[in-house]
Each structure stands twice: as structure tokens, then as C-alpha cells.
Structure 1
């Protein structure tokens, strides 16, 4: 007798796709179904009637000996975990088990659109973090150097993916997808055109279905807008709790998020750093040797100076590489120059150096290269100099090193400016680390064990604590600064920390003044840069000490 095949379509709740089950029955024999524990169906008197598609089969326990090949599960004749209600039906059970031996679970690919994120090619508008492609949930970073898409899902991070990217890349402009409910729209202020999404908010217009985007500053306080019959007091930001508002950019559904690539905050940090040098990098690039090498964690206690060096030397190199990348990437073109001559007969070039929020600011002492590419009359030219001051008009005064060099003094437009990075400070750090590791006598035993985090008996320095901790020529010290001065004068080693503008330089100058007045010898003052040394020396000199 020919085999009879019937196909039932059961929903696969785990993958949200349909799996087709092929039932292979031999012959037309009638079976009296026993009461099986593995099935939730009621007993049917007629074996020729299979469960209908509306009936529910809750569980079919396939033993672990089943073979899985390419998404197909083939259960052997004795693999079904089925128990009969009575011993007299044992023959029936065996017959049914034999009939079930041909039962196959196959993935027929009914849902061909399922995409395994992280494998294959992404859609152009897929979130570059997790791969979500729903046009209503993704938004494009509109920075010219970026143009990547991100979604409004938090995933495993504290903020949405788009906000994470904007913050880390210091970008501000975004554009909605053309197939989103609001269409292809660049978010900008209705009044001034500001596109900084962290300043933008909305208010309802005359009808509840219309909203107006306004920036927080300055447009929210513009008096002319108060005549538009808008209730400016109901202004709300577009970004709230580190996510875009859901009426503007939807959050992917729970199902979409479960199917998306799961990414951690640490992976986001690494891919963002990689994008700075390789905008087309993918998460697969993080798996390449040397890309994702983590330095050793900083400890509170070290066995010896060698372990200390092994931990901090790679961190110094990372800092040096980042500093070099940041400075060398800040070249500016089409600079207009105003020429002058200093008292030392050296040429000074004045110019305005355009700056952006994501760039380092210029300070006196920075070394810059000024260059001119040349034209039909002038040949190419370049010279290196140091920033000597920043004027009130935001002009940079660059003193050029050469005196006898031929300067293109009749040219004022079309110059370029580059940062010149030097590794001197970082080389000295590495040298000091090496000396500390190989020479036990390079520092005192007290400092040696303090740096390694060892328990050291507290030593007090026998210095007279002054009644007045301030110094002549310096501003009056506040309570915390006075406490810092007294503490430093009584201890062999101290650490003073505080944010900019809290008076660390003034406090340091006061400490140097009182140490010098103790009459215990000269005081050596060090700082990480020439600019910092000059500023501190200026404050110390104001106290009347000879610097």
C-alpha cells in the first residue's frame, strides 16, 4: 500500500516562523489512541482523524539522542518519550511509535526575510550598532563625515543607540528616514535653523496635531515668538532620559530587539574609537588581533616596581597615541594671515583658528606648522612656530622660529595650519617608569612603597605651620585651600585635586612660598608642560620669591 503523507502546520513560538511536520503513516489500520502524557489532546476514538489545525499540541518530548542536521530534527523510533495508560495497550503504543519513526521536523524557510544580525550585509539604513532596520525606529547622523544610521533602542546600555553615538562622536545633527511616519526630515529650529538636537524641543501649535521645533537658546526667550499664540512654557526637549521621544522616533519592538545584535557599552566605545580612523569599520574588525587588546587593569597595590611599570607603560602609550591622533587631525585650510614683527626681530603671524566643540583648544606654547601650497608667482613654503598669545579678538599669535627665512609677506590668504605633535613629555614618562623599575634608589623608600600601595607608617614633617597660610601678592585663600596648605607642609607626599578654576595654581604658589620660608633649601617645581610651569612661575614670582 502506498504511503500516505499529511502535512500539518504548527507555529514555532521560539522563532516566530512556521515549521512543517511530515507525518508518515503506513497503511490504513485504525488505532485506538491511548491516553498519552506527552499530549494535551483529548482521546479521540477514531485514529483515522488527525488533530485539526485548530487543536493545540502543547508538548512532544523528543529525547536527547535525536539528530540535528542543518535545522532538521530526525527522531528515531524509540526517541519519543511516551507512556501508555494501561499495559494492554502496549502493542498499540509500539505500533504508534513505529509510525512516528518517520516524523520529521524541517525548517522550510517559510520566512525568508529573517536576518541574522552580525552576519551578511546590513541594509543601508540598518542601525550600525544592532542592525534594526525598521524605518520608523532609525535615524541618520547627519554629520558629513558620518552619515550612519542608528535606532532608538537602549539595548544593554543606559541610553538609546543614536544618543550614544551622538555623545561619543560629538555630532549633533540628525535626519529621519524617508519611509518614517514624518518622512525624510532634518530636525532643526523653526526660528533660527539650529540643528543641535540636544538644544531642540517642541511646543504644540494652534492644533494638537501640529508641533513646532524650537531651540532652547536663544529662540525660546525671543520676545517676537511670544506673539505667535504659542505657550512657550510647555516647551519639551526632543531628547529625554537619553532617548528621543517616541512620537518622533519609535523604539523597536521587543521582538525586533530580541532578534537584533546584542551589543555592550564597552563594544560601543571600541567601535566608536575605531570609526575615528576607519569610518567603514565593522564589529568583525574588533576581533582582529591587536585591535581589541585590553591593557591590564590598574590595581591599588603592586608587588614591585616591575609590575607597576607593566601596568602603566601601556596606558601612557595609549594616551600618547590618542593625543597624537587628536592634534594631527586638526589641520585647518584657507587661513588668512596678518604679518607682524616682534621685538626679537622674529616674524609673527596673526590668524583666527576656527574651532569646533570636538577639538582641542589652542594654548600658549603649542607648536604649529604654517604652510602655503604655492601659486603661479610664489613657490610652496612652510615654517614651524610657537603660539605666544591669544588676543581678545580670538586671534592666534604664532611666532615663527626662523629669522632669515624668505616669508611670503605679500600673501595673506590661502594658508594652512597644522598641529606639530611631539612625544617629549610621553618619552620622559616612559623613561621615568623604566628608571623606577630598575633602580630602587631612584626615589626614597617612603615614596617607593607609597607608589606601590604598600602600607607605610605615617610620617609627619617638622615644619612650623604659619598662622596665615596665604602669601603676599596672591589672592586670599578660602577654607579648603588653607587646609590644603597646612596638610602639605606637614606630610612628605600629598595630592591636591580639583576642577578648573578652583585655585590649584594659587594654592601651589602659596605652598612653595611657605616651604621656601622654612629655610630648608631650594624648592624644585615641576609641571607637565611649559605653559603650566610659566603660569606657576608667574604666581610664585608675585610672592617676591626669586624664581
Structure 2
């Protein structure tokens, strides 16, 4: 008997039977279904993967598009004659090729057209729909596709699995049903319904040439506009898009230099506004309906509302601690109610709920009710208002910064460098604090004398210790002046405040009022707690009364706030150092306060307007600390990012020939773990202050080379689309991730010592679920392992890191993984050991990843096979040009260059895992979503920058046409930062010799044949 497919929920009965059995046939053909085209098995499917494209709007524009002229030539003549089930995009209406979206009841075909995803998948992703049904006349009938076991209708998690005892295919969801221990089927045989971003042919055919003859050719931009129209008018058609000529607003790119601050404001102001509009639209689109609430009371007697969301809902949310929400109830059995509050906790590996602390009102919340609530996020434009205010202040207020900094920030030439006349301390290291190494001490000495300094701190080099020492000496050199210490995120600010407090300085931690009740490591330093601690007299009485009663009379409230603010001003006035986020520096409580020195840590994670917020408080000395080789700013608006908003001030200043001071000794990683990053990203200048013996744990973990705790474990699974339709997962890598972690547990490693990094939210969620369901040890152990995105691990470390790449396809498309900054961060988080799980066949086509694979192979650490019997992998790698290392794959990475974003029509890189922009980090805030930064760090082609047309300071902004390269006064500096010199020639020669030795070794092992010409 032929196989049947069971895909209706077994407890339902639409047609009178216990379940819907379709495609039944009594033919004697072995394993064939009713239609001959279904006779092949899933193992025969060999789709050809294309470029990335799994999100909304412009994210589908990476594929080859058709010109508007070509589109018009293919319009269907008689669209009114099309049947109801015709594809809403292109008009194809073959019954076996169309699928209906059950949310909007529109039909779409399984053809890709000019896109990289089929039309039905494109629609589901862009509309955030996920339930479909087939045509009644299709071979599988018109039932809605759903899990046979639990009834889950999300097609992104559905797949087919063969029953063992019967010739049937069962439709099950990926988790938990396909992984449930059931003797009726083999969970390892589960295959997703969607492969290569289209439904497998078992579900919907690709349209034939005959079906496509008269179809409408639709461009990606038309699809995006049509989807936008449908959000406003569900009956809109492609004609409505064609008849509306929309001219996109021109977005001017940022410049390298500006004639004055007005030009600077005119360049950045519109970009900040675009970003604000994008953020507002994103936040307001995140309304949640029919949620269940769990009520509790906080220690401060405020009501807490906790709610959990499905993976499909929560993984696409952009939520941060401190965000404001409105919770509503309009159900039955209770009068309508509405309350406001602030998010104080987000999901983590320990708990799955969002927690909202409600603002006290006269109407108490309906705590007896738990279901049918609605939640909406309240957008606050405060960060963008503060950035715009800073841009205006820089332009119009001569006291906002010193004259020197004004010229430097605009890119004007300074004829004579300025240094402060200060007496440097004989001993830079602070007594009782960390002893500085030579590069750190030199950095401190240089910074104290200069009005503008850049410090580059590669991973593990002690940026925070160096910054704290600088601040300490600044307070001692000029005790009358206050210092403002900032960072883009609250976590980084808290870390700095801790270090500064240990130096005995008078520190005030200024937080947003919405975060004053959020637990943090330095809450005793927060301004509101310092006010309460130092309150006397009437203020102390009112604080006590307010705590006991929960509220004050109108008269007492007025008195309370007057006294409270007066005390705040007094505490801020007496502080040595004020610590806050960059945006927090625009707080009204700091209005009219002057800070002569400003230090910004992690500055490369902030946009330039964000950096200006603290700087315009009258700064005379600015210290920028960061690493442009690690993750950059988060910009949500694609066009604003491409125009240059994603570039940090740190990077622009480097391009203006302001050479950063580099810290050169890392104390985090085993030296073998630091080697690749040092040579690939830091010109071989990142030295190790720890030895292999310092970073060795006694264990029997099966490292391929016992004294080299790293390995690239080749995994040959296939990537799948996640539940949201906007991310990826890899089940084989998740399974092996669990095996690695279980083995580490057995070797005595504790959960808090392990971190799992993956660029994809879909993979993160799947790894967490898989480990808790299938791990052989205590479930709580796996829950205590932090699994997060690359972005969430920036600035942090773990003893052991497992890096799951997730991407595995035949088109060698690797999305986020192409970004060198992400790779640098991922590879430099581990102290004692690093395990990378990935598919060499997919990764090798990327130059940087091919170099990493070669690095592992050269060290005998590229392996495959079972964990307990790992063997050297014979996977063939690419043989790029001989001078590849010296040139650092210039062509590949010019697209990451600083100036590339300002080239009209320049290529950019986008990956479409929008859900990965936020990772919920235990014990910390998610203060911003990390965006699709594809900027290659720092070493860029100067001529690619646009220039202002006129001159400033009487000098032409462009080179004279007759000026030769040798006449360029900046040539020596440019040489130092030339892209071609990121890996020095000495190291290139060293690696070439290693290649020769490896070739001889492989030849002796009879493995040479698998590696191509690279090894002789």
C-alpha cells in the first residue's frame, strides 16, 4: 500500500473520520503517491539555496529584481477572469501549486518568481501569518495543515515523519511532538515542510512552464508595497501599487568632514528622525492580545503582572527593561480596566515570563482575573529627542564643547596639536588596585595630556581597568571639576561604576526614573537611593510616610518633590564622578551642569549623535574607549544605517587620522584561542598575559589536541526556518551542542562556566528547548547554561564557549556570519576552551571563514565524527589566492568598509533574522536591539567618502588634481591603517611555512588528495 499523510489533529473530525487520511492509492508502485511527481522521497530532494531573504519589506530585495519596464510588459490582460484562488502576487492558479493563508484568506503560489522565497513563504513572513490550507482539488485536499498530535498550525514548525508500522506519513510539529518518545515513528526522520524557502513538492508543486506563461511578473519592491497596502486595506491589489507613484525620500549620506556644526546637524538630524520613526512603528506594532496574566505583589507593595508568550510571539518582540506598557481588560465579568507600568524583567534561561510593575492608580487591577488581557507597548521618543537636542546644542551653543574639540569633531585641520600642562604621576597604577601593563600605563599617560583621545581595547585587554585608572587620575589632577562617565548600555555603566567605587571615588549612578526599581549591582550608588539614605528633616519624614501609605496628599506631594529635587542637586554637585548611559546624560537633572572631562566606554556601540549627548555638557577633554573590530551601533532603519548612522564617532575620527592607542595584552583567553583573532583583526599585536598553564583545566574532554583546548566540530545537518519564519535553526548542531555540554558537566564544569553563542534567535530557542527535553542530566543544569546571541555576549566572558553557526545550505549563504565583527566577538569570549559547531561545506566559500577553518586544520583541530571518536576532517577547503592573507580579502570586505555605506548604490549585507536583534540576558537589561551591522572595522578607503562641495577654513576639502599620492600629508597614517596591512608580512610568511609543513603531514597520512591545490 502507498504511504498516506496524516495531518489533521487526531482529536478533531472534519470529515467524519478519526483523522484526515489523504493521497490514498492502491497502486503497486513501491512508495509512490497518487501523482507520479510525488514518487521521490525527501532524501532525493536536492534544492539549490539562494541568497538570504527571510523578513519583511526591503529584506527581499537582495535577489535579482526585475525592472519596472519588465514588470509592466508581463501584466495579465484579463485579471478579472482569474479564479478566486489565483496567486495574489502573480496570478498563477494551478490547484496543485497554490496555498491559502488562513489568516487573510488570500491565495499564493509556490513559485519564487524574482524573489529568493516562494510567494506563499514571502507573504507569511512579511505579514507574520503562519497558518495555511491547500486547495480542495489538490492531491492532499483542503484541510488546514496542522500537527497530528497537538494541532499546532504554524507551518514553520511542521514537518513529515514516517510511521514505522504503516505506510503513512505523519505531520508533526518540530517541538515537542516530533521529539516525544513514541514507538510509532523515528524522530530522526522528521523533515520540515519548508525547504529552500518554499514548500516541499509533497505539499505544493512548483508551477510548470505552462502554468507560468501568462503570470504577472512582480518585483520585490512591488511585493513590499502591496503587503504594506494590505495592512491598511485588505482588498488592495497590485493595480493599487502600480497606480501610485511613490518617490522615496532622498537620504543624504554623512560626510567625513563638515564646514560647521550646522552642516553636521543637517546631516545627522534627518537620520535620527528616520530611526525614531522606524522605532515607533516597530514598537506600536507589537500589540499582544488574549494573554494570560499571573498577579503578585512586589516588595514595594506595587502590583506585578507576569505573562508568558509563545515562542512565535516573544522571539519577534523588541523589549527592554524599563519599557512602558499599557495593560487592558475588556472581557466579561468585570468593568473595563486599564493600567500602565514598566517592564522590570524579561525572559531568561531561568524563567519564561515578562514582568510588568504597575503604576499605582485609584482603580486597582482586576487581580481575580487571569485571562483575556491585552498589552500594548508605549513608544517613548526621549532618546531621539535628546540626540536631536545634542545636535542642536553642538551647532548653536559655543559653550557646549571647547573650540579645539569643536574643530576636531568636525574634521578641521589643526595646525598645532594641543596638550594640557599637567604633572603626570610618577606611578600610574593606583595603589591597591590592578597593576597596569606597559600598554595600559602608556595609554593612561597619553590620555591625561590630550583633549581628545581614542583607546582601542581588543578583547580581554582590560579596557575597564584602564578607564577607571584614567578617571581616578583626572579627579586627582583637577579636584574642582566633575567627570561624566558614560556607556551606551546600563550593564556597561554599572560595571564601570563598580570599578570606580573600588578606587574610593565619590560616585553617583544616574538612572532613568523608569529603572529606579530595577535590581542592579550598584543600586546603592543610584541617585534616588543616595537621596533616601542622606535625607534629613521633613524630607525624611515624607519619605517614611510615603513608604507606609503608598501616597501623599497633594500638598505633601508638592513639598516632597521640591525637597527631593533639591537633595538630588546637592548630591550631584558634590559628586566626583557621575555615571550614566549616553542617552541618560540628557536627563533634565543634569541640565546646566558642566563636565570638563567626559569618558565614554564601549563607544563603538553608540551612534555619533548618541555620543554627542554627554559631550555637549561643556567638555574640554573627551576620552573614547572601544574597539571598532567588535560590534557596532544598532540601527533599525535600513536606509539610515546605509547613509552612515551605523558608523560610530570612533571610526570617523580614525578615518580623520586620529590614531587610537591600542591596548596590547589580553588576560582572558588561552593563548591558542587568541591567536586567530590577533592575526586576523589586530595585525598580530594582541599578546597574551596568561600562559597555557594558566588557562588549563584538568579534564578528560576529548580535545583533538590535548594541550590545545579548541576544535571546529564539522556538523552536516541542514538549516531550517524557525517558528517565526524570520530566523534559522539547525537540529543536528543543537543535538551536538547538548552532547558537548553534557560531557562538560560530567567533567565537573558548572553550568555558569558555560556559554552557548549563536547568531540566530531560532537556534537559541531550539537549543534551550532541546537540551531541557533531551539532556541526560538534571534539567536545571541545562537551564542554568546561558544561551544567547553574539550581541548579548559582547564585553563578557565564560570559561567555555560553544558556538553554533546554524547555517548549512548548498548555496553557501551564511547571513550574519559574514560580519567579521560578529566572528571576532564570538571567538574571543572563552577563557579555557572553545568548540565551534558548523558546516565547512557552507562556510568555506566565505574568505574569512575559510581562513578560520584552515587555522583549525593547521592546528589539528578541524574534526568530525562522534564526540567520543573524533577524527581529523577531510572536508575540502578553498584554495584562495596565494597573497590572500596579506591582502586580507579586500574585495570581500570592502563592502564592510566605513565609507561603503555612503556610496550611492553601494552593496550592503543584510541577514534577516530580525528576531536575533534582542537576546534576553539573565541579570541584565536589553537596553537596545543590536542591528544588522555589516560594517567592516576601521580600515577603509579614504577616497570612497563623499566630500562637501565647498571649502572650510579657506581650504578645499578635496585633493588638488595634480597632487600625487606621495604629496599626501596623511599618507604615512593611511599606510598604517591600510586594509592590506592588517596582517603583517612576517605572520603571512609564518603561515605559509605552516602550510608547507601541513602539506607534508597530510601527504604522509594519504589525506592530501582531499584538499585541492592548496597543499601541493
Helix, strand or coil at the partner of 1:369: strand
Is the partner of 2:303 in helix, strand or coil?
strand
Please name the residue that 1:385 is paired with: 341
Partner of 2:627: none
- Cα distance in structure 1, aligned partners of 2:222 and 2:191: 32
359 and 202 in structure 1: CA distance in 2 versus 1, 3 angstrom threshold? closer
Aligned counterpart for 2:297 among listed residues 327, 340, 345: 340
Q: CA 1:264–1:115 in structure 2 vs 1: closer, same or farther (change >3 Å)?
A: closer
Instruction: Summarize the alignment of residues 431-510 of structure 1 with structure 2, pairs less than 5 Å apart.
Output: 431-436=389-394, 492=452, 509-510=464-465
Matched, 1:135 2:92: no
Note the aligned Cα RMSD (angstroms).
5.0
The offset of 1:232, in angstroms, is 5.0
CA contact (8 A) 1:132 1:260 kept: yes
Deviations 1:454-477 (A, max 9, x none): 99999999999x9999x989xxxx
1:244 aligned residue = 199
Match of 2:634 in 1: none
Partner of residue 407, structure 1:
364
Partner of 2:320: 363
Q: Provide the rounded CA distance (Å) in 1 between the counterparts of 2:470 and 2:393.
A: 28
TM-score, scaled relative to structure 2: 0.34
In the alignment, is residue 125 of structure 1 matched against residue 81 of structure 2?
no
Partner of 1:538: 494
Larger RCO: Structure 1 or Structure 2 (Cα < 8 Å, ≥ 6 residues apart)? 2
Say if 1:393 and 1:176 are closer, same or farther in 2 by CA, change over 3 A: closer
| Cα deviation 1:356-395 (Å, max 9, x = unaligned) | 146425433122234455989x765544332344594725
Structure 1 SS opposite 2:111: coil
1:163 matched to which residue of 2? 121
CA contact under 8 A between 1:136 and 1:250: conserved in structure 2?
A: yes
CA contact (8 A) 1:390 1:397 kept: no
- TM-superposition CA deviations, 1:413-454 (whole Å, max 9, x none): 565443222222222233334455667885678877887789
Displacement, 1:508?
7.0
Counterpart CA distance in 1 for 2:124 and 2:403 is: 48
User: Aligned pair in 2 of structure 1 residues 373, 357: CA closer, same or farther (>3 Å)?
Assistant: closer
- Following the alignment from structure 1 to structure 2, what is the Cα–Cα distance between the partners of residues 147 and 452? 55
Which TM-score applies when normalising by structure 1? Answer: 0.58
Any residues of structure 2 matched to 1:239-278 within 5 Å, and which?
Answer: 239-278=194-233
Task: Say which is worse superposed, 185-194 or 155-164, in terms of deviation.
Answer: 185-194
Aligned residue in 2 for 1:325: 281
* Residues 1:211 and 2:157 are matched in the alignment: no
Distance 1:399 1:133 in 2: 52
Tell me how far 1:396 sits from its aligned partner: 1.5
Q: Per-residue displacement from partner, 1:479-503 (whole Å, max 9, x unpaired)? A: xxx9xx99x97994669899xxx99
Deviations 1:66-86 (A, max 9, x none): xxxxxxxxxxxxxxxxxxxxx
Partner of 1:524: helix, strand, or coil? strand
Tell whether the 8 Å contact from 2:291 to 2:307 is kept in structure 1 after alignment.
Answer: no
Structure 2 residue runs without a partner (length 5+): 1-73, 435-439, 476-480, 509-1016
Matched, 1:398 2:357: yes
2:151 corresponds to 1:193: yes
Deviation of 1:286 after TM superposition, in Å, equals: 4.0
| Corresponding residue number in structure 2 for 1:92 | none
User: CA, structure 1 residues 300+155, in 2 after alignment: closer, same or farther (shift >3 Å)?
Assistant: farther
Query: C-alpha offsets along residues 243-290 of structure 1, whole Å, 9 cap, x if unaligned?
Result: 222232111223443532222333333433444444444344445768
| 1:316 match | 272
Q: Which residue does the alignment assign to 2:383?
A: 425
Relative to structure 1, the CA distance from residue 189 to residue 281 in structure 2 (aligned partners, 3 Å threshold; closer, same or farther) is same
Deviation (angstroms), 1:351: 3.4
Q: Map 1:223-242 onto structure 2 (within 5 A).
A: 223-224=181-182, 227-228=183-184, 230=185, 232-242=187-197
- Counterpart of 1:181 in structure 2 is 139
Please show how residues 48-87 of structure 1 align to structure 2 within 5 Å.
none
Tell me, in whole angstroms, the C-alpha distance in 2 between the residues paired with 1:527 and 1:334.
35
What SS does the aligned partner of 1:223 have? coil
Give 1:514 deviation, angstroms.
3.4
Aligned length: 406
Deviation at 1:138, TM superposition (A): 1.2
1:282 match: 237
- For the residue of structure 2 that corresponds to 1:198, the secondary structure is helix
Q: CA deviation at 1:123?
A: 3.9
Change (3 A) 1:219 1:328: same
Higher gyration radius (CA): 1
**Aligned positions of 1:19-34 closer than 5 A:** none
| Contact map agreement 1:117 1:131 (CA 8 A) in 2 | no
1:516 is paired with a residue of what secondary structure? helix
Structure 1 or 2: more helix by fraction: 2
Q: Determine the C-alpha separation between the residues in 2 that align with 1:287 and 1:308.
A: 38
Q: Structure 1 residues 393, 260: CA separation in 2 closer, same or farther (over 3 Å shift)? A: closer
2:110 and 2:207 in contact (8 A); partners too: yes
Deviation at 1:174?
2.1
